[in-house]
């Protein structure tokens, strides 16, 4: 919601509050987009937003207001209904066209949430069968995971079970569940690493998949798994799967238009950029053919270049060319400007190189697959379903959707990579890896630059890290190794602290008979 925040002084404001409702004259213009009734904000010191103001109407300046901010230069008269105290910091609002955190000097146009965002609840409630099962469990003082309860319930429904049978089923299920639990002290980390590493030898190295009709190239197999586990900032083939909003997802034409809008076009794709050193100019010669193929108009190029503010330059148009002349001659600047212009985005979203529309039979709607990824911009686009749109760039997911989403993405991507090649690995192992990688709140790599390098044991790092010298140094400066992990105990030659090594047997002497 677009609205304004203005700076006022304490005395005037107290007066206003005491005289509500009232008319109030303001000496600044109110943008046309803001129509009454609206809620505006007021700050006293420019840094903290102190009051919310409910404006019922804007009256022309001819009306004489009862109170005013400034007696001179009244532009509008506001009919103020209510004033509320709020506690907000200027950092928390989004000024339009300015940086966040800009102090309010007189008036600032801002974008503010209508109301606090809601956290959508993603779990359905329980139906009768499920509730019945929960009852039975409560009586037996046992617990089962939710997925098990739901599965039993749905099957029981199919069989139309009565209460007695349901109890039997639940009883057997509890037994099965307990039989399958994991043992305490189990070395789950090693098992997980082995279970993921062993099928690695069966993953192809070949990254190219027999590219069928209208597909984008995606890295698959072992190289992809290594990318995920190394937390690479950009995958080698970033790609997005874009779902559309309900109103256009079945309309091929509309989807195609959207797809075309996404494909990014740089200046270099539709024009030639030449440097003339003697005259200190950068000439952009527009290529009509390329422009028409990508449906770019001359104006778009012009606008884009104009938006780029370079100091000390003048812009002239000459037919199909645009010439930029430098005031102060500087080779370096000339080169920089020409490079900037070449890469300047004319249309589309930065990072998206290609967008292909595909009809997905299983769900009966169209989807867009892209080569290149820019999650933030795409999610904000009209027509894009921001609930389901997906990218395979895990770092982007972390930056835009948060660490929990990144964790889920790591699990999904690695399972997908393995299953594509026909290898099944239990999710739990990948969950463990994902949880390890996201423990610190961001996404860390598995290797020596990430988790392995942060281990607390000197010996463990020395054995793994190639430059043992490097780590001995840190150790020599006073570090002690508590020998709590696996690698260091092996080096020292004693049983490890996992599995059987975590447990001690105590012999209980038989009681002496008196």
Tell me how far CA of residue 402 lies from CA of 224, 288, 398, 509, in angstroms. 22, 43, 5, 57
**DSSP secondary structure string for all residues of 389-417:** -EES-HHHHHHHH-HHHHHHHHHHHHHHH
Among residue numbers 249 through 268, which ones bind another protein (CB under 8 A)?
A: none
Handedness of CA 327, 330, 332, 334 (dihedral sign): positive
Number of residues near another protein (by CB under 8 A): 153
Tell me if 436 contacts another protein by CB under 8 A: yes
Which residue, 282 or 375, has its beta carbon nearer to another protein? 375
Tell me if 456 contacts another protein by CB under 8 A: yes
- Span of 40-48, 270-278, 294-302, 396-404 interacting with another protein by CB under 8 A: 396-404
| Of the residues 17, 107, 199, 285, which one makes contact with another protein according to CB under 8 A | 199
Tell me if 428 contacts another protein by CB under 8 A: yes
Closest CA to 83 of 127, 20, 154, 2: 20
Least CB distance from residue 204 to another protein, whole Å? 6
Cis peptide bond prior to 135, omega within 30° of 0 = no
**Quick count: other Cβ atoms within 10 Å of Cβ 171?**
13
**Quick count: other Cβ atoms within 10 Å of Cβ 400?**
18
Least CB distance from residue 143 to another protein, whole Å? 10
Q: How far apart are CA 413 and CA 218, in angstroms?
A: 12
Tell me if 399 contacts another protein by CB under 8 A: yes
Which residue, 45 or 404, has its beta carbon nearer to another protein? 404
DSSP lists the bridge partners of residue 48 as 89
Q: Which residues contact 416 (CB under 8 A, 6 or more apart)?
A: none
> Going residue by residue from 79 to 118, which x/- string records binding to another protein, judged by CB under 8 A?
--------x-x--x--------------------x--xxx
**Quick count: other Cβ atoms within 10 Å of Cβ 308?**
14
Which residue, 20 or 492, has its beta carbon nearer to another protein? 492
Contact 38, 3 (CB under 8 A): yes
Among residue numbers 129 through 188, which ones bind another protein (CB under 8 A)?
A: 145-152, 155, 158-159, 161, 165, 168-169, 172-173, 176-177, 179-188
- Span of 212-220, 232-240, 281-289, 345-353 interacting with another protein by CB under 8 A: 212-220
Which residue, 304 or 496, has its beta carbon nearer to another protein? 496
Least CB distance from residue 41 to another protein, whole Å? 15
- Span of 17-25, 131-139, 423-431, 506-514 interacting with another protein by CB under 8 A: 423-431
């Amino acid at each position: 919601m677009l609205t304004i925040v203005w700076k006022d002084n304490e005395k005037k404001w107290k007066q206003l509050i005491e005289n509500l409702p009232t008319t109030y004259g303001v000496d600044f213009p109110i943008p046309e987009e803001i129509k009454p009734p609206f809620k505006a904000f007021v700050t006293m010191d420019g840094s903290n937003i102190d009051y919310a103001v409910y404006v019922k109407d804007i009256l022309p300046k001819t009306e004489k207001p009862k109170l005013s901010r400034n007696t001179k230069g009244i532009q509008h008269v506001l009919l103020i209904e209510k004033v509320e105290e709020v506690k907000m910091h200027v950092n928390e609002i989004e000024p339009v066209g300015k940086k966040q955190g800009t102090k309010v000097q007189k008036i600032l146009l801002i974008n503010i949430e209508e109301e606090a965002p809601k956290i959508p609840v993603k779990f359905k409630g329980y139906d009768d069968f499920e509730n019945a099962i929960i009852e039975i469990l409560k009586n037996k003082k046992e617990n089962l995971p939710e997925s098990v309860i739901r599965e039993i319930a749905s099957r029981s429904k199919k069989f139309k079970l009565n209460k007695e049978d349901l109890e039997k089923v639940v009883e057997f299920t509890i037994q099965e569940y307990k039989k399958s639990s994991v043992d305490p002290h189990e070395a789950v980390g090693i098992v997980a690493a082995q279970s993921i590493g062993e099928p690695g030898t069966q993953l192809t190295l070949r990254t190219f998949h027999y590219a069928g009709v209208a597909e984008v190239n995606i890295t698959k197999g072992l190289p992809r798994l290594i990318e995920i586990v190394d937390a690479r900032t950009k995958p080698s083939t970033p790609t997005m799967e874009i779902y559309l909003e309900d109103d256009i997802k079945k309309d091929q034409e509309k989807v195609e238009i959207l797809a075309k809008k996404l494909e990014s076009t740089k200046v270099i794709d539709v024009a030639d950029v030449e440097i003339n050193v003697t005259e200190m100019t950068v000439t952009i010669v527009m290529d009509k053919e390329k422009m028409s193929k990508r449906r770019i108009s001359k104006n778009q190029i012009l606008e884009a270049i104009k938006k780029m503010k370079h100091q000390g330059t003048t812009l002239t148009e000459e037919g199909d060319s645009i010439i930029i002349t430098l005031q102060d001659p500087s080779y370096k600047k000339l080169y920089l400007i020409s490079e900037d212009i070449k890469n300047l985005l004319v249309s589309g979203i930065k990072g998206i190189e290609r967008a292909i529309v595909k009809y997905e039979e299983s769900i009966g709607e169209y989807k867009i697959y892209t080569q290149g990824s820019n999650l933030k911009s795409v999610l904000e686009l009209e027509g894009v379903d921001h609930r389901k749109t997906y990218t395979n760039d895990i770092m982007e997911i972390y930056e835009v959707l948060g660490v929990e989403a990144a964790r889920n993405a790591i699990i999904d991507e690695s399972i997908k990579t393995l299953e594509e090649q026909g290898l099944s690995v239990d999710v739990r192992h990948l969950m463990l890896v994902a949880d390890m990688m996201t423990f610190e709140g961001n996404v860390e790599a598995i290797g020596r630059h990430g988790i392995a390098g942060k281990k607390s044991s000197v010996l463990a790092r020395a054995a793994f890290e190639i430059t043992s010298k490097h780590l001995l140094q840190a150790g020599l400066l006073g570090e002690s190794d508590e020998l709590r992990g696996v690698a260091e105990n092996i080096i020292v030659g004693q049983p490890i602290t996992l599995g059987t090594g975590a447990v001690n047997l105590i012999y209980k002497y038989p009681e002496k008979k008196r």
